Structure formats: C-alpha cells, structure tokens
Chain A
Amino acid sequence: MTEVADEGSMTERKSVLRTVAVRMVYRTGSLDVPALQGIDLDVKQGEFVSIMGPSGCGKTTLLHILGGLAQPTSGHVFVDGIDLAAISDAERTRLRCRKIGFVFQRFNLLTTLTVQGNIEIARQIYGGKPISRQEVGDLLEIVHLRHKLDFKPLELSVGEQQRVAIARALVNEPAILLADEPTGNLDSRNSEQVLRLLADVNREKGQTIVMITHNPQAAEMGNRTIEMLDGQIVSHGTAPELVRESREARTRAR
C-alpha cells in the first residue's frame, strides 16, 4: 500500500489479480447463456484498470468472479497468487475479507448503522483490533466526511454515500479495490469527486483498483482500460487511446 504507482515500471510489478481462461455460463431453463468466454487478465500491483463495455457484456459478472463472490464455470482466478478455485468457500470468504474491498453502484451501505457503524462493521468482520472513533474520523478525512461520522446513510447525499462506501472499502487496507460503476448513480459533480478520490487513492497510496464503467471520461482516470464485448476482452490500451478509437468509430458510422 505504500508503493506509489509508476506507469513506466508497471510490467515489472507483482501481479495481484490474474485470470486464466475464465468462462461463465448461466443456465436459463434448458438454455446455456455464456456470460464470459475465456477471459485472460493480469492486474499488477498499483494499477488502476478500467473495464468498459456495453450493458450485458459481462463486466459485472467478471467483477463478481474477481472478488470471489461468484465462481466461474471454468478457468482460474488468482488473487495475490492464490487460486480461488483451489480453496474452500470459507477460505474464499476469508480471502475476500482480507484482500478485497468492494464499491458498488448502489453504495450498499447498511442503513440501520451510522457512517461510523458502517466502517466499524467492516473492521469487525475483518477481525483483529477494533477501530477507534479517531481512526474512523481519520479515514473519513480522506473522503472529506469526518463531520458526518454520526449520520445515517439516508441522511447523506448520494455522492456522500458513495464516498462513505469507498472509505468502508479501504478500512482494512485491501490489496485490490473492485468498483462496480461507482458513478452510475451520481450526477456529474459527484461523479467527478468520486473519480478524483479513486485516482488520488491509487496515486497516493498505490491502491490497486479495478473499476467498471460505462463512461469513457471515467475510464480515463485509470492507467489502463479494457474493453469488453459479448463476454470477451476485445481491446487493451490506455484510456485516451480507447476513447479516441471509440470516438472515431462513431464518426465513421455517421
């Protein structure tokens, strides 16, 4: 977490998240619906990877598989070198707790707890020393919400709720932060704040981030962008390249 991202030396970095030929097929009645068709992905420590693609292309499924929330039909996922297919469900849960932080489009805060309670419970699940109010306050300082410690989620604006969700995801200093359309429910001002926050966390703390987004401008915040279509990765590149390609494709179509 102390290592700062450096695009120049990214290839030499340790791989924290890797997939090999990941396939996912959903069975609907007697019909097999392929959601992912052989995904190979390698995310290095300190990288900020954006995954783009149209709705239904398998982005969220991939994110769930990367975070150990779902199991692929075939293929392997390695988190910090550990093959998720080779460990039990309980061990996967423990690994998720230790290594992965989630940020969701719908924030997913526990509405019966305060902001402080939402952060405390993530530490409680992690185990170990309980987090003090001072430490919660310091963490909330990063997302500029120290003054909202005792508020309930529904008393906050949507942008604030997402910032609390980011603070909660960071409380146990995970190796990887997985963000599923974190700006999907936000207006442009709040989106910008949240994206800047993620970029800051990546740059200043070296936090590895994998973010799903529909928004090309949001994808530009990352240092690598992956484009998906029909359950496959169709291109890798830096965000500006893909944004430019996308723009050109639209122009040609006209």
Chain B
Amino acid sequence: MANLPLANIFNRKTRTTVGILAVALGVSTVLVLVGLAQGSLDETAQRIQNVGADILFQAPDASAFLAISAGVLPQRLEPLLRETPGVDEVTPVLVNNVTRIKDAQKFVMIFGIDPVSYNRIGHGLEIVEGRGLEKPGDLLVDTVLAQADQIKVGDKLEIMNREFEVVGIPRAGAGVRIYMGLEDMQTATAQPGDVSFFFVKAQDDKDVAAVAAELEKRFEGYKVTALEFLSDAMKENALGLKEFIRALSFFAALISGLVILLAMYTTIIERTREIGILKALGASRAYILKVVMAESFLICVMGVGAGFLLSVIGRAALLRFFPTLTVDLIPRWFLLSAILGIGGGLLGALYPAYRAAKLDPVEALNSE
C-alpha cells in the first residue's frame, strides 16, 4: 500500500537528514555523557573493589568519594580494628590528589600505602615492570597513566614539591593510578600519624556483613561500607550527578523536540497543498495527524539508530584521545535515550501535525 510518510522521508532528504542528525546528537550526547559520568564512578569503584578488601572504614560522615578524603583518622586505630572478631587484615591509606603530572594539567588520585599490609589484603599490586615500594621516595605509576604520559621506570617525577623516582609499573585496574609509601604521603601532606581510611579484609567472605555490623557497633558513628556497595554509595554521594543527568536528559529531549518541531513545521508550510489534496480526497483530521506523526516517528527512530552508532564512535574517539577516561555505554540508557529522542521528537511534531490537520482545505489547495 502507498506509504506517504516513508515516501516523503526519502523524497525530502535534506530535511530528513537534519532531523535525524538532531535526534542522533541528542541521543548520543545523553549516552556518552551519562556513560562518562557513571562510567568514571563505576570504574573508580571497581578499581577500589579490585584492591581485594571487603570493607571500607572511614571517619564519621565521610564521603564515599575517596578523592575528597583527607587525613581524618588516627593511624593508631589500626590495631583496634585488627582486634575486631572476624577481621583478617587491615591496611591504612592516606589519599591525596594532584592536578599536575609532568608539567601537564591532570587530576590524579594518589594512595599513600603500607605496601606489606596492602599486598596482603587482597590480590596485591601486580608489578609488570620494575619493583614494588621499598624505600622513601619510591613511586609506582600504573600502566594506563604510564602509557598515556610516557612515564617509565627510572623517571623522576616532581609531586607535591618533592622528587620521587618511578620504581615500578603496576597493572591498572586495582586501586589508583599512583602509589607512594604511607610515610612519604604523611610527610608531604603534613599529616603525620593520620590516614584517610582503612581497607578491612574479613576472614571469610560469608562474614562480611557480620564483620561490618560488628565494626559499626564497636566504632559507633564511623562510616563502614561493604565494598560491593561502593559504586552505589558513590553515586548516592555524587552531589549534583542525578540533577546533571536529569538536566542533560531534559535538554536532549528539548533539542530533539525543537528540531523536529522546526523540521515538521517547515514541512507543513511547504506541503500545504499536499495536505489540501489529502483533504479533497476525504482525509480526516485524524488521518492527516497520523501521516505527520508517522513521518516524525520514522525520523526519530532513524535518529535514535544513528545516535546509537554515533555514541559507539564517540566513545571510541574519546578513549583514543583520552585513554584515562572511562565511558560506559549503559544498556538501560540506550532504552532511556531512545525514549527521550522519540518522545521529544513526537512532542515537537504535535503542533505542526495539529496545524496541518486544522488547515482549511480550500486555502490549502490554493497555496503555491
């Protein structure tokens, strides 16, 4: 049967292309930016989980974002934590962040660790080149950062006004990108005897919840988080993340809606005569509305498809040029962005469709 919406789409290529691109841009913006925000959080959480600990022990009301932690816990809590029933291992960590590596602006989180207990707590650091931390002034840089910034074993790096020597390259994927000795970090940040948090390992995986409950009981008010929930806790603590995603989604739907509105409105103006013909043939308002909406729907669906493709390409390009970034294209957001793109587009098409349906047939037929 005759398919007027499809025929119009293929016969008005420029209008169709602009509409598809607008929807695609909206969809891919949502997918990539949400993927970047959530991917970075998930990746950070995953790396912390990959350390191999079971529980994160922090100061009262601390943020799940370890990057904004400071030396707020006394290191002397360590033996008390070890005495808690069910605890197998405890390791202290002092966190600091730097914004400059090898004279380049870069936000990097650094762990000051006790290498012996840190390696015992889980899988330990897998050194692929060089050696582990042994003496003051030693520094480890993970494979991703080393590759991105051309850092190799033996390089001297100035961090926090002190010179460090890169002595090893651990495999990326667990913890952070840079490690130094705990005492070096305490000295460099003028926080002797203080740590940011403790990683705690339970004697048995099955007892993690019980150990966490016992820690909460013994250290009332302190923050105890089972690491399997760290990702959720970080998203919960990410101030403005939800609002950012909501605003992003709103603007994506708005862009789709406005461009489709403009494209369809222009189309209706151009095709007034065609609508007059349909009316002369006896087409009802509902039929005209259906034709315009169907055409918009097809443009939106093609736009969503193109948006998915653009997201995959965009992700690959981002990772190619910024290898330390993480962009997770989240399956649930494919569905949500499709709903946003199509929903926004259809909303935008409503007014032109309504206007077309209401056109006076004689005036429409007489239009040039």
Pick from B2-10, B68-76, B305-313 the stretch touching chain A. Answer: B2-10
**For B279, what are the chain A residues with a Cβ–Cβ distance below 8 Å?**
69, 93
Neighbouring A residues of B1 by C-beta, 8 Å: 120, 124, 130
Contact string, B275-286, partner A, CB cutoff 8 A, digits 1/0? 011111111110
User: Quick check: A121 and B284 within 8 Å, CB to CB?
Assistant: no
User: From residue 163 to 206 of chain A, which have CB atoms closer than 8 A to chain B?
Assistant: 168
CB distance from A247 to the nearest CB of B (A): 33
Q: Which residues of B contact A97 (CB under 8 A)?
A: 281-284
Q: A108-B365, A112-B11 are in contact. Are A120 and B282 (CB under 8 A)?
A: no
Q: A102 at the A/B interface (Cβ < 8 Å)? A: yes
Contact A69 B274 (CB under 8 A): no
As a 0/1 sequence over residues 111 to 155 of chain A, the CB contacts with chain B under 8 angstroms (1 = contact) are 111001110111011100010000000000000000000000000
Chain A contact residue count (CB 8 A cutoff): 30
Q: How far is the CB of B286 from chain A (nearest CB, A)?
A: 9
- Docked pose: A102 CA to B361 CA in angstroms: 13
Contacts A93-B285, A96-B282 known; 10 new A-B pairs at CB < 8 A? A67-B280, A69-B365, A93-B282, A94-B282, A96-B280, A97-B282, A102-B280, A116-B2, A117-B2, A125-B281
**Whose C-beta in chain B lies nearest to the C-beta of A168?**
B281
Measured CB to CB, the nearest residue on chain A to B3 is A117
In the complex, chain A residues whose CB is within 8 Å of the CB of B362: 64, 69-70
CB distance from A153 to the nearest CB of B (A): 11
Of A112, A117, A120, A125, which is within 8 A of B278 by CB? A125
What residues of B have a CB within 8 angstroms of the CB of A126 in the complex?
282
A69 touches B280 (CB 8 A): yes
A110 lies within 8 A of chain B by Cβ? yes
User: With A69-B365, A117-B2, A120-B1 in contact, is A125–B7 under 8 Å at CB?
Assistant: no
The distance in angstroms between the C-alpha atoms of A168 and B362, with both chains bound, is 19
Decide yes or no whether B201 CB sits under 8 A from chain A. no
Q: A119 to B150, alpha carbons, bound, how many Å?
A: 69
Does the CB pair A110–B4 fall under 8 Å? yes
* Residue A253 at the chain B interface, CB threshold 8 Å: no
Residue from B278, B281, B285 within 8 A of A90 (CB atoms): B285
Nearest CB of chain B from residue A22's CB, rounded to whole Å: 15
Closest to B364 in A: A69
Q: Is the CB of B361 within 8 A of A69?
A: yes
Q: Interface digits, A75-111 against B, CB 8 Å rule (1 contact, 0 not)? A: 0000000000000001001101110101010001111
Contact B2 A124 (CB under 8 A): yes
List the A residue with the shortest CB-CB distance to B277: A108
Contact A94 B284 (CB under 8 A): yes
Chain A residues with CB under 8 Å of B361's CB are 69-70
Interface size in chain B (residues, C-beta < 8 A): 25
State whether A104 and B7 are in contact (beta carbons under 8 Å apart), knowing that A69-B280, A126-B282 are contacts in the complex.
Answer: no
Q: B residues 246-292 with Cβ under 8 Å of A?
A: 273-274, 276-285, 287
Interface contact A104-B365, CB-CB below 8 Å: yes
Dominant secondary structure of chain B at its interface with chain A: helix
CB distance from B33 to the nearest CB of A (A): 38
- A69 contacts which chain B residues (CB < 8 A)? 279-280, 361-362, 365
Shortest distance between the CB of A28 and any CB in chain B (Å) = 14
A108: contacting residue among B11, B280, B285, B287, CB under 8 A: B280
In the complex the two chains form, is A118's CB within 8 Å of B2's CB? yes
Min CB distance B284 to A, Å, is 5
Q: Min CB distance, A243 to chain B, in Å? A: 30
What chain A residues lie within 8 Å of B4 (beta carbons)?
110, 112-113, 117, 121
CB distance from B293 to the nearest CB of A (A): 16
In the complex, per-residue mask of B1-28: 1 if CB is within 8 Å of any chain A CB, else 0: 1111001101110000000000000000
Nearest B residue (CB) for A98: B282
Q: Report the minimum CB–CB distance from B256 to chain A (whole Å).
A: 24
Contact in complex: B7, A93 (CB < 8 Å): no
Smallest CB gap from B274: residue in A: A110
Contacts of A94 in B (CB 8 A): 282, 284
Residue of A nearest to B273 (CB): A108
Give 23 CB contacts A-B under 8 Å: A67-B280, A69-B279, A69-B362, A69-B365, A90-B285, A93-B285, A94-B284, A102-B280, A104-B280, A104-B365, A108-B273, A108-B276, A108-B277, A108-B280, A112-B7, A112-B8, A113-B4, A120-B1, A120-B2, A121-B4, A125-B281, A125-B282, A126-B282
Q: Which chain B residue has the least Cβ–Cβ distance from A180? A: B365
Interchain nearest-CB distance for A102 vs B (Å): 5
Q: Which residues in A have their C-beta under 8 angstroms from that of B274?
A: 110
Q: Which positions 149-192 of chain B face chain A at CB distance < 8 Å?
A: none
Give Cα distance in the complex from A93 to B8, angstroms: 24
Alpha-carbon gap, A63 to B365, bound state (A): 13
Interchain CB contact under 8 A, B282 and A113: no
- Closest Cβ of chain A: how far from B296's Cβ, in Å? 16
Bound-complex Cα distance A109 to B11 (A): 15
Q: Which residues of B contact A130 (CB under 8 A)?
A: 1
Query: Across the interface, which residues of A come within 8 angstroms of B3, CB to CB?
Result: 117
How far in angstroms is the closest Cβ of chain A from B58? 65
Nearest CB of chain B from residue A213's CB, rounded to whole Å: 18
* List of B residues within 8 angstroms of A125 by Cβ: 278, 281-283, 287
Task: Please determine whether A93 and B280 come into contact, CB atoms closer than 8 angstroms.
Answer: no
In angstroms, Cα B92 to Cα A40, docked, is: 102
Most chain B C-beta atoms within 10 Å of own C-beta, residue among A94, A124, A130: A124
